[in-house]
Amino acid sequence: MVRFSGFTAEDFDAYSPEKWRSNVFNLNRLMVKQKLEHIAPTLLNGVIDAMEVPGGTLTFGLSSEHPDLWNNHEVKQQHLYFLRPEEERTALFSRVSRARSMGSLLDQPSPYLEHVHLAVTIAQQGLQVRVCIMPEATVDRENVVLKIRDPWQQSELTSLLNDLAQRFTISVAGNPHVEASTAIEALSDSETHSVGQPRQLGKADIPILNVARDLDRGDPDIQSDRILDILQSDLHALIPLYRFIEWRRDNDHVELGKELKQEQEVRLRKGLEKNDPVRITDGLWAGKTGKVQAIEARGQVKVLVGTLTVQVKADDLQRIS
C-alpha cells in the first residue's frame, strides 16, 4: 500500500478565502494537489475492486490549483474526482453538450461537472467524500430520472439513500440534511425542468444531488496514515449509489446505446451511400474504381469492381464524381 502521512493544517489553510484569487499561494495548493495525486491510484484501484464488475473501470482527475478561467479565478477547493474514462466521456460529449450554450461550455469545461462522479475534496474546513450530480451531468441525470419512474427502482434508490444517511449527508440543490424521499422527489421534479437541459440554480457549482461525508480538519485521523483507509471506506460505501445513477450500456434508461451505435455507424461509413462511385486508395485493389454495393458493420464496404465484389475498409475509399 502507498505510504501517506495525512494532511496538515497548512494544507487546509491554502484554501482560506483571502487566498482564493491569489497566485502567490499556487505552490502551496500544488503541494496539496500532489498529495491527492499520490493517493489517487490506490483509491482508484480500491474503487474499481469495490465495483465488482469484470473489466469495469473508472479514471481519476484533479482540479486546477491556480486561479484561471475554468474556476472563475478562485481556488476555493481542490478536487480529486473519479468518473468514467475519457473515451466514454468523448462518446457522450455530443449528448451532454447538446442542450448547453457555447458560453456555458466555455465557462464550465471541467469533465467532472458533466458526469456523475465520486470525489475527495479538500477545503479550508476539512475533507469531503461524495457522490455528486451537477446540473451539467445531463445524461446521468436523465438516466436516473427515467429509471426511478419504475416503482421497484425508486424503492431501490430509497433503500440506498436511507442506508447512506446513517453516515453521509444528503443535499439537494444546496439544501442539506434532506431525507431520501425528498431527494427522490427533487430528482423526479427535474422532468418539469426539461430533462436533458441544465436546471438553472443560480450557481453552476451547486449540485442537484450531493451525498457526502465531511471530515473536520481537526480530526486526528486526517493528520495520520489512517486517513487513507477512511477515504477508501467512504468511497466503497458510495459505489452502489454511483452505479445506480451512472449511465452505461447495461444501465441505459434513455436508449442512448441505440443513438451512440447509430452515430458510430455514420462515422464509420465516411459519408458513403449505396451506388456511390468510388476509387480504392489502398490495399490489393488500390487504384481500381467501382460502385458501392453495401455498407456493413465496422466500416466495411462491399464494392463492385468490374464483375467482382470486393470488401474494402471505408477508410480506403474515395468517392468520385
pLDDT the model gives residue 74: 92
DSSP characters over 196-240: TS----SSTTS-SEEEEEEEETT-GGGGSTHHHHHHHHHHHHHHH
Around 314, how many Cα atoms within 13 Å sit in the side-chain half-sphere? 20
Counting every residue, how long is the chain?
321
How far apart (Å, rounded) are the C-alpha atoms in residues 145 and 39? Answer: 34
Residues lower than pLDDT 70 in the chain: 1, 53-56, 93-111, 190-205, 256-271, 297-299
How far apart (Å, rounded) are the C-alpha atoms in residues 201 and 210? Answer: 14
pLDDT the model gives residue 81: 95
pLDDT the model gives residue 287: 86
pLDDT tens for residues 183-226?
A: 998 888 765 444 444 444 334 568 889 999 999 999 999 999 89
Q: What is the DSSP letter of 100?
A: S
With vertex at residue 310, the alpha carbon angle to CA 309 and CA 316, rounded to the nearest 5 degrees, is: 135
The model's pTM is 0.75
Cell of 267: 462515422
Residue 176, C-beta contacts closer than 8 angstroms, at least 6 positions apart: 169, 170
Helix (H) or strand (E) holding 265: helix 256-268
Q: Count Cβ neighbours within 10 Å for each residue of 164-181 and write b for 16 or more, e otherwise.
A: bbeebbbbbbeeeebebe
CA 284 to chain centre: 43
Around 200, how many Cα atoms within 13 Å sit in the side-chain half-sphere? 1
Please give the domain boundaries of the chain with CATH numbers for all domains. 9-259 (3.30.930.20), 270-319 (2.30.30.30)
Helix, strand, coil % in the chain, rounded to nearest 5:
45, 20, 35
pLDDT the model gives residue 194: 41
Beta bridge partners of 303: 292, 310
pLDDT the model gives residue 195: 40
pLDDT the model gives residue 136: 81
